[in-house]
Amino acid sequence: MFKITGKASDSLARTGELTTSHGTVETPAFVGVATRATIKAVEPSALEEIGLQILISNTYHLHLRPGEETIAALGGLHRFSGWAGPLMTDSGGFQVFSLGAGKEQGVGKIASIFPDPQHLPSKRRHGNSLVRLSEVGANFRSIVDGSPQMFTPESVIQIQRKIGADVILPLDECTSPLHDAGYTKHAMERTHRWAQRALTAFRLLQDDPTFPNPDAMLFGIVQGGAYRDLRMQSARFIRDLGFPGFAIGGSLGRSKDEMLRVLDWTVPCLPPDRPRHLLGIGEIDDIFAAVERGVDTFDCAAPTRLARNGTVFVRGAPRQRINLRNARFATDDRPIEPGCDCPTCQTHSRAYLRHLCRSGEVSFYRLATLHNLRFLVRMMREIRGAISRDCFAALAAEWRQATLSS
């Protein structure tokens, strides 16, 4: 299922192959975020062309609409969406967080994303929790129709088996960076009990031929917030349950530095021969830092969200990006990134894309998103090549320099 094919001598960076029944993912790999069974603005069939290897969809959203029964009736998420490659689903745990404590406290996975609560979008600032957690599971209301819903560790496994992804995840409680050690420990211990229940449910259903994907793998999720002892305790506990792979979830602290410390504590406690996924993180600098610390896969909505806002990746530019809304691109007839082989750069100029972006044309979203995804696909290939030749540190330093030069 996972084979390590290369290792850096001076860091935990490694290359590997994660094999699923829908194909093999060469790692380290960026996982495209297809929350509601599509990457926003890009139809699944365009993704294979740009070399994207794997997608992650969202159990919470797909459960509410169109519902796992509908997806199962249509042969599972692969057939339903037209994406034939490897596919993950998350557990809904992050939505339980973001509609609960995240909404109450107005924070994301890393608290400092919103350094000043005054800068939060107003609808989040005074949010009340829409979620009630108990030992049994999470009660919440549907964002689609307000209907009462419940996720339990068992139901989330069943839902994901009906959806039919290759890698699925157990229900967890993703605590907030603002939660104290006491609450975080309490939540972590409940998440551990939920992990055991999820595993039991998964094993019970494993040989059930009615599910669309007989070869689903259940990865464990490590929690513990940004507390060293809790992270190490969680990593060891989840490791000992024997999952074939692991995800690092939950609060990653109050800054990117804290996030890196969380990885420094967590990864060495996980089995060296199993894949490690970092949930919800994947800006360019994060990817290099996480690969260096032994992470194999990442998913992150930022690259595609940035694209829709006009920010596109250009290697060597400050922070490796330009914003196409900038007036200096008004008559720039070069492609976004000269030399890029993406479909957008083959055809369109910065000037035209800027026009579409400023005009609010929906066609812009797709063109910009395809470029940013292809950029990451090429970057990950470069990372894998550098690890194979044991020069990853030099590559990371080269990229970091541009990233910090803004």
Q: Which residues bind a second copy (CB under 8 A)?
A: 36-45, 61, 65-66, 70, 73-75, 80-82, 330-331, 333, 343, 347-349, 351-352, 354-356, 358-359, 361-363, 365-367
Calpha distance 253→127 (Å, rounded) = 21
Residue 356 C-beta: closest distance to a second copy, Å: 6
Beta carbons within 10 angstroms of residue 327's beta carbon: 8
Nearer to a second copy by C-beta: 114 or 352? Answer: 352
Nearer to a second copy by C-beta: 78 or 321? Answer: 78
Peptide linkage before 148 cis (omega within 30 of 0): no
**Does 390 participate in catalysis according to the annotation?**
no
Nearer to a second copy by C-beta: 347 or 405? Answer: 347
Nearer to a second copy by C-beta: 6 or 67? Answer: 67
Q: Which two tokens stand for residue 128?
A: 């009340």
Calpha distance 13→263 (Å, rounded) = 12
State the catalytic residue, choosing from 10, 90, 229, 273.
Answer: 90
**Does 90 participate in catalysis according to the annotation?**
yes
State the catalytic residue, choosing from 264, 273, 299, 390.
Answer: 299
Nearer to a second copy by C-beta: 5 or 70? Answer: 70
Nearer to a second copy by C-beta: 133 or 368? Answer: 368
Query: Which residues are designated catalytic?
Result: 90, 299
